């Protein structure tokens, strides 16, 4: 028995050593100081709470031992929500506009390398190695570009690194890249579409100039839809003043109706205001506008309805509004029953005091999660409380 106990303790100890990335639990100033003292770079996972790829990285990549072994020994690691606390200022300082963004910063607070998006294990370790190599850092790549580098793979890689945070440079890089391309492939088109966020971006000129090539891969009606969305994003951005947190309704309605119907324009503005109100934690405005938008929700998809219902569960306390959210969640389940929307329904029933239905749907959610190998820990906690 003693030998078994010793073996068990050794096994548990081995498991304890197998860990993923260890993130610091302190403020950014203290993290920079530690990095400077240890002569390391800071790795920052710049995320947002609503970001799907961010959650997948937390679930699939950050816990890996290979990833943890490298990052923990080479960097001081920080995980910061860019929409809360000091993250808001850091997002402005380091121009974080897409999530997740991964920053590598020296002890003086200077950014030396970055990338973004969901990244698989080997690539996630490789770009960390690139961050440590002065010849492969973003600053070095920019210098190489300025000296006239024309290698297509080099240009594609550089464009991918800067496309969301430096549209001017991305435009120059892709302009040089596309000058060498007689035809565009699927990856080229995807890169151009994902990076073109505004009609004022240099990338938009390429998007227009390459239309004939793009519609060989993308149906022309989808090209037109992308074009409309780019114009819409531009008008929306110009219509909202982030300093005063106010909307210029007249400007938006006038400009957007150059390519949208009056009804489309008004509905989009209302939805944009609702989304902004939720982001600004102006819950009463969010609640009012969302209820107006979804009086008739028969055409809404299952995921959209589940997202609405969950937002109401997390933020709204008016019983009548929560009962409306229950109806959204029920319709979501009706259209596509899954763990996410059954869990939402269980939580909503619990919040309005219907313990019987809360228990029934929590049991259903746990059952669905287990059948798909999903984590149902939170739902099981709810079930125990009922």
pLDDT score of 17 more than 80: no
pLDDT at 279: 84
Average pLDDT over residues 288-304: 96
Q: What is the DSSP letter of 23?
A: B
> Which CATH superfamily is 28-133 part of?
Glutaredoxin (3.40.30.10)
For the ranges 41-45, 123-127, 193-197, 262-266, the lowest mean pLDDT is seen at: 193-197
Sort 136 into a burial class: Cβ within 10 Å, 0-12 / 13-18 / 19+.
middle
pLDDT of residue 8: 40
Q: Is a pLDDT exceeding 90 seen at residue 242?
A: no
- Give yes or no for a contact between 277 and 287, defined as CB atoms under 8 angstroms apart: no
Across residues 332-356, what is the average pLDDT?
97
Domain 296-385 -> CATH class = mainly alpha
The model's pLDDT over 20-32, given as tens digits with 9 standing for 90+, comes to 999 999 999 999 9
pLDDT of 14 above 70? no
State yes or no: pLDDT of 341 exceeds 60: yes
Phi then psi dihedrals of residue 115, to 5 deg: -155, -175
Catalytic residue annotation: 51, 54
246 pairs with which residues across the strands?
241
- pLDDT higher than 50, residue 12: no
Separation of alpha carbons 151 and 87, rounded Å: 36
pLDDT at residue 50 tops 90? no
Parse the chain into domains and list their residue ranges: 28-133, 139-218, 296-385
Q: Say whether pLDDT at 16 is over 80.
A: no
Model confidence at 220, in pLDDT bands (50, 70, 90)? very high
User: Residues 112-140: what's their mean pLDDT?
Assistant: 93
Is pLDDT of 380 > 50? Answer: yes
Q: What is the pLDDT of residue 244?
A: 92
Helices 202-209 and 220-239: crossing angle in degrees, nearest 10, is 160
pLDDT value for 163: 85
Confidence bin at 5 (pLDDT 50/70/90): very low
What's the chain's Rg over C-alpha atoms?
24
Q: Which of these ranges, 159-168, 264-273, 375-384, has the smallest mean pLDDT? A: 159-168
Torsion of CA 263, 264, 267, 271, to 10 degrees: -170
In this prediction, residue 179 carries a pLDDT of 86
Q: Mean pLDDT, to the nearest integer, of 82-110? A: 94
The owner of tokens 């998006």 is 117
């Amino acid at each position: 028995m003693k030998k078994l106990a010793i073996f068990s303790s050794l096994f548990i100890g081995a498991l304890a050593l197998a860990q993923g990335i260890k993130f610091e639990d302190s403020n950014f100033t203290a993290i920079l100081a530690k990095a400077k003292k240890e002569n390391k770079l800071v790795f920052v996972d710049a995320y947002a709470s609503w970001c799907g790829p961010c959650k997948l990285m937390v679930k699939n990549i950050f816990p890996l031992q290979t990833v943890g072994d490298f990052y923990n020994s080479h960097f001081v690691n920080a995980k910061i929500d860019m929409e809360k606390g000091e993250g808001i200022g850091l997002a402005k300082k380091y121009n974080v506009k897409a999530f997740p963004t991964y920053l590598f910063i020296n002890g003086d607070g200077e950014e030396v390398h970055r990338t973004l998006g969901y990244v698989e294990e080997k690539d996630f370790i490789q770009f960390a190695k690139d961050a440590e190599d002065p010849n492969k850092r973003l600053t070095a790549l920019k210098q190489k570009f300025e000296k006239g580098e024309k290698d297509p793979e080099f240009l594609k890689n550089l464009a991918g690194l800067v496309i969301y945070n430096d549209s001017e440079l991305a435009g120059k890089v892709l302009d040089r890249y596309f000058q060498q391309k007689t035809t565009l492939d699927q990856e080229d088109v995807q890169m151009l579409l994902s990076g073109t966020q505004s009609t004022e971006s240099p990338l938009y000129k390429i998007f227009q100039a390459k239309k004939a090539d793009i519609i060989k891969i993308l149906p022309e009606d989808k090209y037109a839809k992308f074009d409309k969305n780019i114009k819409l994003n531009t008008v929306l951005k110009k219509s909202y003043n982030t300093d005063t947190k106010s909307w210029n309704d007249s400007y938006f309605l006038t400009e957007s109706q150059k390519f949208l119907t009056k009804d489309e324009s008004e509905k989009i503005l209302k939805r944009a205001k609702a989304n902004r109100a939720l982001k600004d934690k102006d819950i009463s405005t969010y609640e009012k506008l969302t209820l107006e938008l979804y009086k008739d929700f028969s055409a809404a998809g299952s995921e959209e309805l589940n997202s609405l219902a969950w937002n109401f569960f997390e933020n709204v306390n008016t019983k009548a509004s929560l009962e409306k959210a229950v109806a959204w969640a029920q319709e979501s389940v009706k259209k596509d029953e899954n763990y996410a929307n059954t869990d939402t329904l269980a939580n909503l029933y619990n919040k309005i005091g219907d313990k019987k239905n809360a228990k029934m749907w929590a049991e259903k959610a746990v059952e669905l999660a287990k059948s798909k190998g999903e984590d149902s820990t939170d739902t099981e906690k709810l079930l125990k409380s009922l």
